[in-house]
Amino acid sequence: MILINPIIRLVNRNLTISINPGFIIWQILFPLIYIFVAGFAYTALIDSVPFGGKNLDYPAFLASGMIGFNIMNSTLISGIIIWNDRRHGMFEQIMSGPFTRTHYILSNIVTIGIIGLFSAALITAVGYPVFFDSVEFNIVTIPLIIFGSVVGAILFGSIASIISVKLRSSEGFNVIINTVFLFCAFASTAFYPVQGAPQPLATIFYLNPLSYLVDIIRAGIFGQVTDFVIIEMLLLVALASILFVIATKLLTKLDF
Amino acid sequence: MLCIETKDLRKKYASTVAVDGVDLQIESGQVFGFLGPNGAGKSTVIKLLTTLISPSNGKISVLGIDSSKHPLEIRKKIGVVLQQPSYEPTLSAEKSLEKYGMMWNIDKKIRKKRTEELLSAFGLEEIRKKKMDDLSIGQRRRVQVAREFMHDMELLFLDEPTVGLDPAARRKLLDFLREQVKNSGLTIFYTTHVLSEAEYLCDNIAIINNGKIMAVDSPSELKNRFGHEKTIKIHISKVSEELKSKLSIIPECQIKLEPEPTVIINSTKSEIVLMNILKILNDTNTKINDLSAIPTNLEEIFLKVVGDSN
Ligand SMILES: Nc1ncnc2c1ncn2[C@@H]1O[C@H](COP(=O)(O)OP(=O)(O)O)[C@@H](O)[C@H]1O
Ligand SMILES: [Mg+2]
> Using a CB-CB distance cutoff of 8 angstroms, which residues of chain A are in contact with residue B51?
96
CA–CA gap between residue B199 and residue A54 (Å, rounded): 81
Residues in a beta bridge with B216: B206
Reading phi first (left if > 0) and then psi (alpha if -120 to 50, else beta), residue B63 is in left
CA–CA gap between residue B95 and residue A19 (Å, rounded): 14
Minimum distance, in Å, between the CA of residue B296 and any CA atom of chain A: 39
Grouping H, G, I as helix, E, B as strand and the rest as coil, residue B91 is: coil
Q: Which of B43, B194, B210 has most ligand 1 atoms within 8 Å of CB, for mutation?
A: B43
Report whether B114 contacts B149 (CB < 8 A). Answer: yes
pLDDT at A3: 64
CA–CA gap between residue B291 and residue B54 (Å, rounded): 52
pLDDT at B17 over 70: yes
pLDDT at B46 over 90: yes
pLDDT at B16: 92
CA–CA gap between residue B81 and residue B140 (Å, rounded): 12
Q: What fold is seen in the domain B2-224?
A: Rossmann fold (3.40.50)
CA of B171 to the centre of ligand 1 (A): 28
The closest of B253, B291, B292, B296 to B272, measured between CA atoms, is B253
Give a three-class secondary structure readout of A2-44.
CCHHHHHHHHHHHHHHHCCHHHHHHHHHHHHHHHHHHHHHHHH
Which of A138-142, B20-24, B275-279, B304-308 is predicted with the least confidence, judged by mean pLDDT?
Answer: B304-308
Q: At what angle do helices A58-74 and A170-186 cross, to 10 degrees?
A: 150
pLDDT at B58: 97
> Using a CB-CB distance cutoff of 8 angstroms, which residues of chain B are in contact with residue A90?
86-88
Interface contact flag, B104 A98, Cβ < 8 Å: yes
CA of A81 to the centre of ligand 2 (A): 26
CA distance readout (Å), A162 to A61, A174, A238, B221, B257: 31, 13, 17, 53, 61
CA–CA gap between residue A93 and residue A88 (Å, rounded): 10
Report whether A70 contacts A116 (CB < 8 A). Answer: yes
Which of A165-169, B26-30, B121-125, B289-293 is predicted with the least confidence, judged by mean pLDDT?
Answer: A165-169
pLDDT at A245: 92
Q: How confident is the model at residue A89 (pLDDT cuts 50, 70, 90)?
A: very high
**Per-chain mean pLDDT for chain B:** 90
Q: What is the pLDDT of residues A163-177, one digit of tens each?
A: 888 887 777 887 888
Specify the DSSP class assigned to residue B70: -
Residue scoring higher pLDDT (B88 or A54): B88
pLDDT at A1: 52
Mean pLDDT over residues B99-120, rounded?
Answer: 97
Residues in chain B: 310
| % pLDDT > 90, chain A | 27
Instruction: Say which amino acid occupies A236.
Output: L
Q: What is the pLDDT of residues B189-240, one digit of tens each?
A: 999 988 888 889 999 999 999 999 989 999 888 777 766 667 788 888 888 8
CA neighbours closer than 13 Å in the CB half-sphere of residue B278: 10
> Using a CB-CB distance cutoff of 8 angstroms, which residues of chain A are in contact with residue B52?
92, 95-96, 256
Q: How confident is the model at residue B77 (pLDDT cuts 50, 70, 90)?
A: very high
Q: What is the pLDDT of residues A69-86, one digit of tens each?
A: 888 888 888 888 998 999
Q: What is the pLDDT of residues A94-118, one digit of tens each?
A: 999 999 998 998 899 899 888 888 8
pLDDT at A231: 94
| % pLDDT > 70, chain A | 97
Residues in a beta bridge with B292: B233
Instruction: Say which amino acid occupies B16.
Output: T
Closest residue of B to A97, CA-based?
B75
Interface contact flag, B99 A13, Cβ < 8 Å: yes
CA of A24 to the centre of ligand 2 (A): 40
> So where are chain B's domains?
2-224, 227-309
Q: How confident is the model at residue B264 (pLDDT cuts 50, 70, 90)?
A: confident
Report whether B266 contacts B280 (CB < 8 A). Answer: no
Instruction: Say which amino acid occupies A158.
Output: S
Q: For residue B2, which phi and psi values (nearest 5 degrees)?
A: -75, 130
pLDDT at A48: 81
| Same fold across B2-224 and B227-309 | no
Q: How confident is the model at residue B179 (pLDDT cuts 50, 70, 90)?
A: very high
> Is B38's C-beta closer than 6 angstroms to any atom of ligand 1?
yes
Nearest CA to ligand 1 atom 17: B41
Sign of CA dihedral B109, B113, B115, B118: negative
Written as one string, the DSSP assignment of A50-100 is: EETTEEEEHHHHHHHHHHHHHHHHHTHHHHHHHHHHHHTTHHHHHHTTT--
Helix extents (H) in chain B: 42-49, 71-75, 93-103, 108-121, 137-148, 167-184, 195-201, 219-227, 241-247, 270-283, 298-309
* Ion ligand 2 contact residues with beta carbon within 5 A: B 42-43, 83
CATH number of B227-309: 3.30.70.1150
Is the bond preceding B55 in cis, omega lying within 30 degrees of 0? no
Residue scoring higher pLDDT (B167 or A31): B167
Chain A interface disruption, residue of B11, B43, B75, B143, most A CBs within 10 A: B75
Of B76, B78, B86, the CB nearest to A93: B86
Nearest CA to ligand 1 atom 18: B43
Query: Could you tell me if A240 lies within 8 Å of chain B, comparing CB atoms?
Result: no
Q: Which helix (H) or strand (E) holds B85?
A: none
CA–CA gap between residue B176 and residue B9 (Å, rounded): 31
Here the ipTM equals 0.83
Report whether B155 contacts B79 (CB < 8 A). Answer: yes
Sign of CA dihedral A71, A76, A79, A84: negative
**What is the total count of domains within chain A?**
1
Mean pLDDT over residues A210-227, rounded?
Answer: 90
Reading phi first (left if > 0) and then psi (alpha if -120 to 50, else beta), residue B210 is in left
Angle at B298 between CA B293 and CA B303, to 5 degrees: 80
**Per-chain mean pLDDT for chain A:** 86
CA neighbours closer than 13 Å in the CB half-sphere of residue B18: 19
The closest of A125, A171, A130 to A145, measured between CA atoms, is A125
CA–CA gap between residue A103 and residue A80 (Å, rounded): 17
pLDDT at A6 over 80: yes
Mean pLDDT over residues A54-83, rounded?
Answer: 86
Q: Which domain holds residue A215?
A: 4-253
Q: What is the pLDDT of residues B51-62, one digit of tens each?
A: 999 999 999 999
Residue scoring higher pLDDT (A57 or B80): B80
CA–CA gap between residue A235 and residue A205 (Å, rounded): 14
Encode burial over B191-208: b for 16+ CB neighbours within 10 A, e otherwise.
bbbebebbbbbbebbbbb
Query: Could you tell me if B104 lies within 8 Å of chain A, comparing CB atoms?
Result: yes
Angle at A29 between CA A44 and CA A151, to 5 degrees: 90
CA–CA gap between residue B199 and residue B67 (Å, rounded): 30
Report whether A226 contacts A220 (CB < 8 A). Answer: no
